[in-house]
Amino acid sequence: MKYRRFGKHDFRVSALGFGAMRLPTLSGDHSDVDEEKSIEMIRYAVDHGVNYIDTAYGYMGGKSEVVVGKALKDGYRERVKLATKLPSWIVNTREDMDKFLNEQLKKLDVDHVDFYLLHGLGKDRWEKLKSLGVLEFGVEAVADGRIRGLGFSFHDEYEVFKSIIDGYDKWAMCQVLYNYIDQDRQATTKGLQYAASKGLPVVIMEPIGGGSLAVKPPKEIQDIWDEAKTKRSQAEWALQWVWNHPEVSVALSGMSTMQQVVENVESASRSGPNTLTAKELQLVERVRKKYSEYGYIGCTGCRYCMPCPNGVAIPEIFALINQHYVKRGDRDAEQEVVKRYKETVGKENGVKNCKQCGKCEDLCPQHLPIRNLISGATWVFEPRRP
């Protein structure tokens, strides 16, 4: 494992962090976490050098913190920095902040967390939390030992990001969405550099675009990757691009299988700031531009797949799932995308109408795994209910 500076803090953090947002499940129910596999994966990561674990109040239907807490028994807690997040969207009083933090400590079965993040800050949420006394809460929680530092995760524009950083001089860290597709969205590269210039550790979420940058690419994109002297998987290209930035402290990966953990740990061992060559960076930029033409999952909108014999609005669904990837982690924005799905696609042309016949894949000039992609969109737009 490679380690990097964590801003002005006096410890070094593993290049790879374990994001407990996409733990394996026993069924299609997101909250039906496979605890045994999850614990095995988290402990494997720690045993192989990962020392940063990230979870949140709402992850995995509220089960993520419980499972992470179990994984950190038997001496594992002392080997990692642990971060969780205040569910900002349901905080309405100063008392709510203490209530949620105390509940989370109980779920995690720990006496403190190292970093407590205000989850999914944007301009309006930031102003609301400030008015409710969240900064005073943070000072008190540090003083009484429940948290070691207050941070925030972010989903808005650069100017808002800068104003939040400048609005408080005791931030312990920040967490932003960043990958080679999204480098000009939300906090942007400019924000990454600004935070680092202030000595603020920058934790990266969605370095693989919610998994979309690990999907087998269209031939045109694979042909670009094949030009590289060093051969890498789609996922490793995405991770190495993020790690190439010296301002990045740690890149979180929401891993769902042991294979992903093993591969990402190995990839992290090959990482380092400014290790990609100029030619490799040019290849990434060409892929980014090509993806901007295709859409996030490589769909060009050519509609050769249409009409679907079962009525599935394939191009429209792909466009919406791409928007959802960009908004992931911002609950309000995610729900707005889901709302648009219900309004524009609806059940008549929705994901559950897919019969997995494969006719669309036979017609797709990009050779996309459409059935798998539609299946993956189900948990976003029409998740199974218990």
Please answer whether residues 313 and 369 qualify as being in contact, where contact means their C-beta atoms are separated by less than 8 angstroms.
Answer: no
Confidence band, pLDDT 50/70/90 cuts, at residue 304 = low
Q: What is the pLDDT of residues 48-90, one digit of tens each?
A: 999 999 999 989 989 999 999 999 999 999 999 999 999 998 9
pLDDT tops 50 at residue 386: no
Q: What is the pLDDT of residues 86-141, one digit of tens each?
A: 999 899 999 999 999 999 999 999 999 999 999 989 999 999 999 999 999 999 99
pLDDT tops 60 at residue 6: yes
The one-letter code for the residue type at 54 is: D
Q: Residue 59 to residues 84, 235, 279: CA-CA distances in angstroms?
A: 10, 22, 38
**Mean pLDDT value across residues 296-318:** 79
Q: What is the pLDDT of residues 134-182, one digit of tens each?
A: 999 999 999 999 999 999 999 889 999 999 999 999 999 999 999 998 8
**The pair of three-digit structure tokens given for residue 150, joined into one six-digit string:** 């207050």
pLDDT tops 90 at residue 299: no
The H or E element spanning position 107 is helix 94-108
pLDDT > 90 in the chain, percent: 72
What pLDDT is recorded for position 30? Answer: 76
Nearest-Å Rg of the Cα atoms of the chain is 21
pLDDT tops 70 at residue 44: yes
* Beta carbons within 8 Å of 379's beta carbon, 6+ residues apart: 28, 30
pLDDT tops 90 at residue 236: yes
Q: What are the CB-based long-range contacts (under 8 Å, 24+) for 257-263? A: 257/24, 257/41, 258/37, 258/40, 258/41, 258/44, 260/235, 261/18, 261/41, 261/44, 261/45, 262/44, 263/233, 263/235, 263/236
What pLDDT is recorded for position 325? Answer: 63
Residue 337 phi/psi, 5-degree rounding, is -65, -40
Whole-angstrom distance between the N-terminal and C-terminal Cα of the chain? 40
User: CA-CA distance, 375 to 209, in Å (whole number)?
Assistant: 17
> What is the β-pairing status of strands 3-5 and 12-14?
antiparallel
Other beta carbons less than 10 A from residue 269's beta carbon: 14
Torsion of CA 385, 297, 257, 46, to 10 degrees: -110
What pLDDT is recorded for position 76? Answer: 98
User: CA-CA distance, 253 to 42, in Å (whole number)?
Assistant: 12
User: CA-CA distance, 291 to 366, in Å (whole number)?
Assistant: 12
The answer to pTM > 0.85 is no
What pLDDT is recorded for position 279? Answer: 97
What pLDDT is recorded for position 257? Answer: 95
**Mean pLDDT value across residues 215-233:** 88
**Mean pLDDT value across residues 282-294:** 87
* Range in 88-102, 319-333, 354-368 with the lowest mean pLDDT: 319-333
User: CA-CA distance, 3 to 142, in Å (whole number)?
Assistant: 26
What pLDDT is recorded for position 354? Answer: 93
Among 84, 77, 73, 72, CA closest to 21: 84
Please answer whether residues 257 and 22 qualify as being in contact, where contact means their C-beta atoms are separated by less than 8 angstroms.
Answer: no
pLDDT > 70 in the chain, percent: 94
Burial of 27 (0-12, 13-18, 19+ CB in 10 A): exposed
pLDDT tops 70 at residue 362: yes
Specify which of 86-95, 212-221, 287-296, 320-329 reaches the highest per-range mean pLDDT.
Answer: 86-95
What pLDDT is recorded for position 141? Answer: 98
What pLDDT is recorded for position 50? Answer: 98
Whether omega before 307 lies within 30 degrees of 0, making that bond cis, reads yes
Among 337, 296, 91, 282, CA closest to 181: 296
DSSP H helices, 248-354, are 258-268, 278-294, 314-327, 331-344
pLDDT tops 60 at residue 298: no
Which domains are assigned to the chain? 3-276 (3.20.20.100), 295-381 (no CATH)
Confidence band, pLDDT 50/70/90 cuts, at residue 384 = low
